[in-house]
Structure 1
Amino acid sequence: MRDIVRINKRQSRKPPVLQQIGLLFLTILGCYGVRAQSVTPPYKKIPNGIAICLNQSGTPPQYLRLQFVTPSILHVIVKPDSNFITAPTLMIQARPLENIDYKVSTLKNGRELEIKSGRLQAVVDLITGKISYLDQNDHALLRETGNARSFKPIEIAASGYYNIVQQFDNVQNSPLFGLGGNQLGYTDLRGKDLEMIQYNSNVFNPFLVSTGHFALLWNNSSITYYGHPEQYRTLADLKLFDVEGKPGALTATYITDTTHPAGMFSRREKSIGYQFAKDSALLPGRFKMTTRSKVIWEGAVSSDQSTAMYDFILKFGGYVKVWLDHQPVVDWWRQAWNPAEVPFKLQMESGKKYDIKVEWAPDGTSSFAALRQKRQIKDQDRQIRFHSEAGKQIDYYVLTGQKIDSLISGYRYLTGKAPIMPKWAYGFWQSKEHYNSQKEILATAKQFRQKQIPIDNIVQDWYYWKKDDWGSQEFDRSRYPDPAGMIRQLHNDYDLRFMISVWPKFYEGSKYFKQFWDNNWLYKQNVIEKRKDWMGYVSTFYDAFNPAAGSAFWDIVKEKIYSKGVDAWWLDATEPDIVDNITNDRRMELMTPSYAGAPQIDFNAYALAQDKTFYTGQRDADPNKRVFILTRSAFTGAQRYAAATWSGDIGATWQEMHRQIATGISFSMAGIPYWSMDIGGFAVESKYQKPGPKLKEAWRELQTRWFQFGAFSPIFRSHGQAPAREMFNIAPEGHPAYSSMLYYDQLRYRLMPYIYSVGAATYFKNYTPMRGLAMDFPEDQQATAITDAYMFGPGLLIAPVTRPHVTTKAVYLPKGVQWYGFYNGKHFNGGQIIQATAPYGRMPVFVSAGTILPTGPVRQHTGPLADTLDIYVYAGKDGQFTLYEDQGTTYDYEKGQFQKIEFKYRDTTGNLEISAPKGRYNEKVPGHKTFRIYWVNPASAVGIDAKAAPAKTVIYKDRPVKISLH
């Protein structure tokens, strides 16, 4: 290699074109060891692609591998050596390569090499090594920029790994979406920074989609940072001034007990840095953190840099308020043990002081407050940058497609289809933290049925075992004397399904602990350190990446739980959350010994390994019973294991509810279609435990608005800490809160023909139920920027109310289509903001023209498609809808056992065409149905609540029907 470097230097005086040709010859001479005169062309062919070695002047060679997976998907690998790793990863499913028609050409006097399919092309600059990506019409999609990629060797328990970076220019500056369920309120990710680290409430999936007709799947399961190169810094990197104007620090005032402030004291501090559990040691010895304590930081900040926008991010638990330049920017509560993050910005002129005040009430003995900042950089919005902590190679997929749906379809081609969930899973679920006995579960089920509140699933959260026996997977018989009998009664007497929480956690001394310890199936460090959990016992997690450990774990669960009739799995703490609120390095220390060789390698994919264990285990044990998994974390490919994900232990506040909309949009647009949240918020402020009348009403309003939102989520489930979350415990019958929650629960079941058909499209067409507006209105820039509204299926625009005491909400109706009020059928033109009515009992919902919306009767639980359906047809645009039905709980649909009925509406003629049924299930010939057709148009305002007569009634006898609605 030293000889090659010398030759490059000697040839540096050649004319540019000759120098480039010389470099190409030297590339092959140095990388492939062949004679220079044999180099035609400068690459090696592989199936559906090429391999290139780049010997850039003065640097070690880099080896590139570009291979088409489909005409729309290009797999790119870059390595410092030629030993490409092409075996399937945890994330990517193995698929045989298509025989793709592609071409390779040299451009610009041999400086560039182009590989091109019928839909996607990549151009490699053989001098700089940078790659540009274009669509079939030569429109630029992405290009590598600056120091486009880098490899830095790292020392971990496994050899041959690098800290890797890959950077692109979003040349169109098109909006970017996905990457999982961030909790920062972001949907468009341009210019944003994400620490893609799985932990409670934050779920990441490194799939990025754009309205610019491209997507990126980053094939790396280590901790990854998305955003510009600078990490967040402490406040000490700014100029600080205390309350008296003295430079170098802020004034920090500590009050141990706000009811007795005489003992308060102040000191100068250069940062607000209580970010992790270990940082509590930095607090002053005189200060005791309690529910009555408070800390106030005051002063000013300044920068000697040129004028720029600064990003701030606050991590906190407890109550916190922030003022910047005398303006309030944060007023929030979050449970002390699971801190949240809130971002905000400040434009700072060079040398100018800006007042700052941070007021923190810890609300507990273990809480957090840390404020970090960084200066935005030029063209930050156009930069796409992935930085992973561990990888043997840079490995990613570039996808192209006209719509985000087609990009997500490509993602699922690579990572697996999303199966149809059992039909009951689309109904309502009731849960809480936690039911404490068999008697309580059965009593709750009985109340739902007696009060005729529709429900399909009741959930047993954690702690059904004996207190000191976590990991045994055994019910505490003193509280659950007959678990199998309880489940049979739920099934037979109440038509309910039963889901149960399973943790990958073992107490030292629990029944199976020694077996797993002796086989090195447990992470041991936490036990060695004798660290106790919040229940007071030493614990650890098992290594879900170890196939033998996974098999043994499933065998225990199968024997102790599944055999009793359990219907579905709640896989909790799958980040894995061995210990809360510790540094990333500390998390790695606790995840040893590691089957992968080092915990850094697959850290973000723990939940995926756990999902696979349960999915494959159940399908082997019971091949034709649909699996359903709810997990607190997820990763690329989770959808193929029938896994839905919820957004973790969020707080029961209006702010948290508001940003769940953006969290669900972002998660769904990252390719995993089934998302859920704790309706009402999980953790609750202490003031709501014994509320007076005013606080009780405030609690009811929050729960009502959140329930309305939840009814239009992919998975509809109520859950949280006390107060009790059953609607009849939130408010009495007749109260507006109870009436509204009952209405939306019943509405969910009325919409089941629509919802279950959308679920089928998610499998058959790679559809996405919860849809950011960019998915259906990509050209409408105002729509793509919206973070508090979304489409639910193809026709319903959902705009949840996320503030208290309001009865209207400003709603933007995307342009290019007409809209109708869901409840009353009132007509609106698109492209405008309207003040939508939002009384206590209703939230704004609109229907787009061209929608065909099938609805059924109110039912107490899901069941076969009703014999009489109401079909709402919304005029103003052609429309189509596929009504789907199958057996509901088996995998027979994979064998073609299902029924589809196609509805097509032609707006110019007003004709509705209904096809003959296609297919059958359970060898059953579809029965006759009655379709009551409601034609909604500007002259006929028919809403879902209207008592109007149908425009037409059709007795459907399994033959095509054509109806004129004029």
Structure 2
Amino acid sequence: MKKFNLTLLLIVCLAVLGHAQAYQKTDLGIKSIVDSTAIEIQVYSPTTIRIVKSLKEVPFTKESLSVIKEPQKTAFSVKQDGDLIIVKTAKIDVSLNKQNGKVSFFSKKAGNLLSEESSAVFTDFNDVGNKTYSVSQTFKLNQDEDIYGLGQHQHGKMSQRNTKFNMVQSNKDDYVPFFVSTKGYGLFWDNYSPTLFEDTPEATLFKSEVGDCVDYYFMFGESMDGSIACMRDLTGQAPMFPLWTYGFWQSKERYKSQNEVVGVVKKYRELGVPLDGIIQDWQYWDSNYLWNAMEFLSPQYRDPKRMIENIHNMNAHIIVSIWSSFGSKTKQFQEMEPKGMLLDFGTWPLSGIDVWPPRRDYLSGAKAYDPFNPEARDIYWKYLNKGLFSLGIDGWWMDSTEPDHMNPKPTDFDNKTYLGSLRKVRNAYPLMTVGGVYENQRKASSDKRVFILTRSAFAGQQRYGANTWTGDINSTWDALRRQIPAGLNFTLSAIPHWNSDIGGFFANAYNNTDGDGTATKNPSYQELYVRWMQFGAFCPMMRSHGTQISREIYHFGEKGEPVYDAIVKAIELRYSLLPYIYSTSWEVTNKQGSFMRALAMDFDDKKVRNMNNEYMFGTSILVAPIVNAQYTSEKAVKSNEYSGWEKTNSEDDRKTLPAVDFTQPKSTKVYLPAGTAWFNFWTGEKIDGGQEITTETKIDMIPLYVKQGSIIPFGPQVQFATEKNWESLLIRVYPGANGEFTLYEDENDNYNYEKGAYSTITFKWNDKSKTLTISDRKGSFSGMLNNRKFKVELAGKDSTYKDVEYKGKATSVKLNSQTR
């Protein structure tokens, strides 16, 4: 009997000892080993958990390129319940199953949020002589769950369920391995190599070609907005853009002289059409052998400093095209090549001669540089600063930041970068090259906010003052339709600034003869361009651009003609909304907000979950762009970033086109989300949500609806963003629910706001008492208005208004049907 008791005691002791050694508690969470896999759960905050899995006894170091947050000291507890080791924070529970190594995430309110479907998989991989692994992890999503984000794609879908991507950055697809769920969480897969993402009803997979470990972050923001906020907290906040970047921008491929560039701005000023910026595209450096020399070397730009001064004297701004590659005769190439800072694979431009198709017998020798090398980033900035920034250039159009990878070979990814093979870091290329310019300019000056327009992006790029555009897309209705979900999913990837080429990039198919530019008189293209312009007015950047057609407004007609007037109306609408847009920009910076908002972010309405043709702009305005031809027939154009340069049209394209009457009214269907009522922006009509309606449209009208309870400020009519101060603003209240809006103002173009140099005025609407309360102004800055007038208007078919004198102190105004 004693022997039995002793044996039993030994078994119990061993069992207890086994449990005691099941995990090791650390300052950040726990470490444990399941079979051959070392698993670490790290608590970054009450809402953010990092999971790291690696093969035990295989040492490695991992320094994230995207994540800049250090784990904050967070209270958490650990307990073991059978096979489960549970880490608890104030917001979420994380369990590790000791039998199979699976990790699951829970919340008290929502229950199970996400679970791994299987344990991590490590497959031996030889990465140019470096023994490493291909890594993968599967997750189990709920059947009725929708996910969004994962970057920018041209597939036209809103929800990313049942999709498959081979994530390698390209001209028109920018991959960000982060998604948000309708269940209120986000997931970031922290890997930079080519990665397969695949979602099926059975499992959701991330599989990366190279990785020493599985490394991902789970964020429970309790909503999509909250999870985006967690991602920005993890990877960096979005700085303020200058006010002038939110005006209208004119561009084309390409202006060929400084006289032409200055002449375009001058013509806009003569016409009285608002304009804030013009963009100089490529080849101002002259020869392709001097590609991206970052100097005005072309004889057509004899005095670039004077050109810039002339533009500034007309109260406009200029940004110029710079690239990630350098021609073989540039100073940059000559300095970087001996130091091993250039990558050897096919990139733009292939030919040293500016012809299409490229002459392969006269190769340019251009090579992309290695932005992972800090010295290379400094050399890049040295020449950019000397050749362009010192002249007064206002911003950077960073083209080909993915970068262009032409005629790919299997060995291209074997290129050695500062951080290992190109294969290992491929997708983070845009993050590093854009980040190098931002960080160096911030060191050089705080007087001018960094503004970058770029073609590619990766997780964390929002911290670098960059606005991403969708690349070289076709000028078709189908391409326009695809831009809406592309921009929304990009926003849901936690990067708020986005735009597309208004009118599409490749438009030659609309010319009546070979590349003669007559597409601007072609009704088919005119209609497409107007509708794209109206959509562009409700994007974070409003920019007209493309090849084979001059996009300036005066090529589309003249004042009094329907197409011309419709373009002007869209631009002027954009400018009237600048106080709303700039205040939304502050929400993006200060409260992790978003400009373009998928309807699922704001409405608990299953009908909007996969809606890809409507969105909110800010929190108040529902935008339903016209994305189907109403006056002409749709033209299908099939081309890509290589074939699109072909300038020969078919015989069908050369036919005389019939006249079109753009004055006739049309109609379209719009779905108004449930849970609120809506006001027709143009008529003031109030309509209940939760229904699809048919609304009248005209060529100069984009369907817009404003949510009840909204407060929107409207600015004065101007020719450029800062022409007039906001001394007299229209404040329009949309009744039916309580509402609040904060008007933000600062010095418009420096970083003094980071030191507190800004002011806010909060407007609160009490719907029951029909009273608008204007708060005390908070904060101050140089040039701030101390006194001003507000024209407060109650929206509706029979709008009412009252003038209010405001001197920075709280005041209230009561509005009713008798108010005038």
- The TM-score with structure 2 as length reference comes to 0.89
Rounded to whole Å, the distance in 2 between the matches of 1:744 and 1:138 is 44
- The equivalent position to 1:451 in structure 2, one of 242, 250, 271, is 271
Q: Is 2:221–2:228's contact at 8 Å kept on the other side of the alignment?
A: no
Q: Is 1:171–1:382's contact at 8 Å kept on the other side of the alignment?
A: no
> 1:84 Cα deviation (Å)?
7.1
Counterpart for residue 736 of structure 1:
562
Q: Which amino acid aligns with 1:520?
A: G
Counterpart for residue 776 of structure 1:
602
Kindly report which structure 2 residues correspond to 1:381-420, keeping only aligned pairs within 5 A, or say none.
Answer: 381=201, 383-420=203-240
Say if 2:524 is the partner of 1:676. Answer: no
Counterpart for residue 591 of structure 2:
765
- The equivalent position to 1:956 in structure 2, one of 801, 806, 814, is 806
Q: Is 1:700–1:731's contact at 8 Å kept on the other side of the alignment?
A: no
Q: Is 1:646–1:678's contact at 8 Å kept on the other side of the alignment?
A: yes
> 1:818 Cα deviation (Å)?
0.2
Measured against aligned partners, the alpha-carbon deviations of 1:61-96 in whole angstroms (never above 9, x if no partner) come to: 11111011110000110111256767541111042x
Going from structure 1 to structure 2, the CA distance change for 1:444 and 1:695 (only over 3 Å counts) comes to: closer
Q: Which amino acid aligns with 1:143?
A: S
Going from structure 1 to structure 2, the CA distance change for 1:754 and 1:694 (only over 3 Å counts) comes to: closer
Q: Which amino acid aligns with 1:640?
A: R
Q: Is 2:176–2:459's contact at 8 Å kept on the other side of the alignment?
A: yes
> 1:398 Cα deviation (Å)?
0.5
Going from structure 1 to structure 2, the CA distance change for 1:616 and 1:691 (only over 3 Å counts) comes to: closer
Report the 3-state secondary structure (helix = DSSP H, G, I; strand = E; otherwise coil) of the residue aligned with 2:342: coil
Q: Which amino acid aligns with 2:602?
A: D
Q: Is 1:175–1:784's contact at 8 Å kept on the other side of the alignment?
A: yes
- The equivalent position to 2:94 in structure 1, one of 122, 144, 159, is 122
Q: Is 1:172–1:212's contact at 8 Å kept on the other side of the alignment?
A: no
Counterpart for residue 99 of structure 1:
73
> 1:136 Cα deviation (Å)?
2.9
Rounded to whole Å, the distance in 1 between the matches of 2:521 and 2:628 is 15
Measured against aligned partners, the alpha-carbon deviations of 1:253-306 in whole angstroms (never above 9, x if no partner) come to: xxxxxxxxxxxxxxxxxxxxxxxxxxxxxxxxxxxxxxxxxxxxxxxxxxxxxx
Report the 3-state secondary structure (helix = DSSP H, G, I; strand = E; otherwise coil) of the residue aligned with 1:672: coil
- The equivalent position to 1:480 in structure 2, one of 301, 304, 325, is 301
What is the aligned length? Answer: 760
Going from structure 1 to structure 2, the CA distance change for 1:458 and 1:911 (only over 3 Å counts) comes to: same
> 1:927 Cα deviation (Å)?
1.9
Say if 2:701 is the partner of 1:701. Answer: no
How many percent of aligned residue pairs carry the same amino acid? 34
Counterpart for residue 330 of structure 2:
510
Counterpart for residue 820 of structure 1:
679
Rounded to whole Å, the distance in 1 between the matches of 2:250 and 2:338 is 39
Rounded to whole Å, the distance in 1 between the matches of 2:752 and 2:202 is 47
Query: For structure 1, which segment, 159-168 or 756-765, has the greater mean C-alpha deviation from structure 2 after superposition?
Result: 159-168
Report the 3-state secondary structure (helix = DSSP H, G, I; strand = E; otherwise coil) of the residue aligned with 1:919: strand
- The TM-score with structure 1 as length reference comes to 0.76
> 1:820 Cα deviation (Å)?
0.6
Going from structure 1 to structure 2, the CA distance change for 1:795 and 1:203 (only over 3 Å counts) comes to: same
Rounded to whole Å, the distance in 1 between the matches of 2:779 and 2:615 is 33
Measured against aligned partners, the alpha-carbon deviations of 1:898-943 in whole angstroms (never above 9, x if no partner) come to: 0000011111221111101000012x5532111111112xxx326x
Rounded to whole Å, the distance in 2 between the matches of 1:78 and 1:605 is 21
Say if 2:49 is the partner of 1:74. Answer: yes
Measured against aligned partners, the alpha-carbon deviations of 1:676-717 in whole angstroms (never above 9, x if no partner) come to: 100000012334234879971111111111001000001110
Kindly report which structure 2 residues correspond to 1:520-559, keeping only aligned pairs within 5 A, or say none.
Answer: 520-524=340-344, 526=346, 534=358, 536=362, 537-559=364-386
> 1:422 Cα deviation (Å)?
0.7
Say if 2:195 is the partner of 1:224. Answer: yes
- The equivalent position to 2:25 in structure 1, one of 29, 45, 57, is 45
Q: Which amino acid aligns with 1:697?
A: P
Measured against aligned partners, the alpha-carbon deviations of 1:423-476 in whole angstroms (never above 9, x if no partner) come to: 101111111001111010011110010001111111001110121311322212
Report the 3-state secondary structure (helix = DSSP H, G, I; strand = E; otherwise coil) of the residue aligned with 2:695: strand
- The equivalent position to 2:711 in structure 1, one of 852, 874, 879, is 852
Kindly report which structure 2 residues correspond to 1:613-632, keeping only aligned pairs within 5 A, or say none.
Answer: 613-632=436-455
Measured against aligned partners, the alpha-carbon deviations of 1:328-387 in whole angstroms (never above 9, x if no partner) come to: xxxxxxxxxxxxxxxxxxxxxxxxxxxxxxxxxxxxxxxxxxxxxxxxxxxx24632111
Counterpart for residue 647 of structure 2:
none
Measured against aligned partners, the alpha-carbon deviations of 1:12-67 in whole angstroms (never above 9, x if no partner) come to: xxxxxx9xx99x979xxxxxxxxx84752521111131011112xxxxx1111101
Q: Which amino acid aligns with 2:384?
A: V
Q: Which amino acid aligns with 2:611?
A: I
Taking only aligned residues, the RMSD between alpha carbons, in angstroms, comes to 2.2
Rounded to whole Å, the distance in 1 between the matches of 2:192 and 2:183 is 26
Counterpart for residue 166 of structure 2:
195
Query: Any unmatched runs of 5+ in structure 1?
Result: 1-17, 27-35, 56-60, 229-379, 943-947
Rounded to whole Å, the distance in 1 between the matches of 2:375 and 2:390 is 21
Say if 2:687 is the partner of 1:712. Answer: no
Rounded to whole Å, the distance in 1 between the matches of 2:419 and 2:312 is 41
Q: Which amino acid aligns with 2:393?
A: V
Rounded to whole Å, the distance in 1 between the matches of 2:581 and 2:202 is 37
Q: Is 1:796–1:846's contact at 8 Å kept on the other side of the alignment?
A: yes
Report the 3-state secondary structure (helix = DSSP H, G, I; strand = E; otherwise coil) of the residue aligned with 1:155: strand
Counterpart for residue 862 of structure 1:
721
Measured against aligned partners, the alpha-carbon deviations of 1:383-430 in whole angstroms (never above 9, x if no partner) come to: 321111111100000011222111100000000000010110111111
Report the 3-state secondary structure (helix = DSSP H, G, I; strand = E; otherwise coil) of the residue aligned with 2:808: coil
Say if 2:408 is the partner of 1:582. Answer: yes
Report the 3-state secondary structure (helix = DSSP H, G, I; strand = E; otherwise coil) of the residue aligned with 1:833: strand
- The equivalent position to 1:881 in structure 2, one of 741, 766, 773, is 741
Rounded to whole Å, the distance in 1 between the matches of 2:738 and 2:204 is 38
Kindly report which structure 2 residues correspond to 1:557-576, keeping only aligned pairs within 5 A, or say none.
Answer: 557-576=384-403
Counterpart for residue 111 of structure 1:
83
Q: Is 1:902–1:915's contact at 8 Å kept on the other side of the alignment?
A: yes
Measured against aligned partners, the alpha-carbon deviations of 1:593-648 in whole angstroms (never above 9, x if no partner) come to: 32222111110011111111100111111133200111100001111010110000
Rounded to whole Å, the distance in 2 between the matches of 1:451 and 1:603 is 46
Measured against aligned partners, the alpha-carbon deviations of 1:96-126 in whole angstroms (never above 9, x if no partner) come to: x32211111111xx21111111111111111
Counterpart for residue 691 of structure 2:
832
Measured against aligned partners, the alpha-carbon deviations of 1:815-854 in whole angstroms (never above 9, x if no partner) come to: 0000010111111100000112221111111100111000
Say if 2:36 is the partner of 1:64. Answer: no
Rounded to whole Å, the distance in 1 between the matches of 2:20 and 2:143 is 35
> 1:186 Cα deviation (Å)?
1.7
Counterpart for residue 791 of structure 1:
616
Say if 2:288 is the partner of 1:461. Answer: no
Counterpart for residue 750 of structure 1:
576
Q: Which amino acid aligns with 2:560?
A: G
Query: For structure 1, which segment, 763-772 or 538-547, has the greater mean C-alpha deviation from structure 2 after superposition?
Result: 538-547
Say if 2:286 is the partner of 1:436. Answer: no
Measured against aligned partners, the alpha-carbon deviations of 1:546-571 in whole angstroms (never above 9, x if no partner) come to: 11111111101111111110000010
Rounded to whole Å, the distance in 1 between the matches of 2:232 and 2:520 is 49
Q: Is 2:69–2:233's contact at 8 Å kept on the other side of the alignment?
A: no
Counterpart for residue 902 of structure 1:
762
Say if 2:141 is the partner of 1:167. Answer: no
Rounded to whole Å, the distance in 1 between the matches of 2:241 and 2:402 is 23
Report the 3-state secondary structure (helix = DSSP H, G, I; strand = E; otherwise coil) of the residue aligned with 1:390: coil
- The equivalent position to 2:423 in structure 1, one of 591, 594, 600, is 600
Counterpart for residue 319 of structure 1:
none
Say if 2:483 is the partner of 1:660. Answer: yes
Counterpart for residue 292 of structure 2:
471
Query: For structure 1, which segment, 467-476 or 601-610, has the greater mean C-alpha deviation from structure 2 after superposition?
Result: 467-476
Counterpart for residue 662 of structure 2:
none
Q: Which amino acid aligns with 1:106?
A: Q
Report the 3-state secondary structure (helix = DSSP H, G, I; strand = E; otherwise coil) of the residue aligned with 1:734: coil
Going from structure 1 to structure 2, the CA distance change for 1:177 and 1:85 (only over 3 Å counts) comes to: farther
Counterpart for residue 149 of structure 1:
120
Say if 2:674 is the partner of 1:811. Answer: no
Rounded to whole Å, the distance in 2 between the matches of 1:954 and 1:127 is 69
> 1:578 Cα deviation (Å)?
3.8
Query: For structure 1, which segment, 805-814 or 173-182, has the greater mean C-alpha deviation from structure 2 after superposition?
Result: 805-814
Rounded to whole Å, the distance in 2 between the matches of 1:46 and 1:557 is 46
Q: Is 1:724–1:730's contact at 8 Å kept on the other side of the alignment?
A: no
Q: Is 2:765–2:773's contact at 8 Å kept on the other side of the alignment?
A: yes
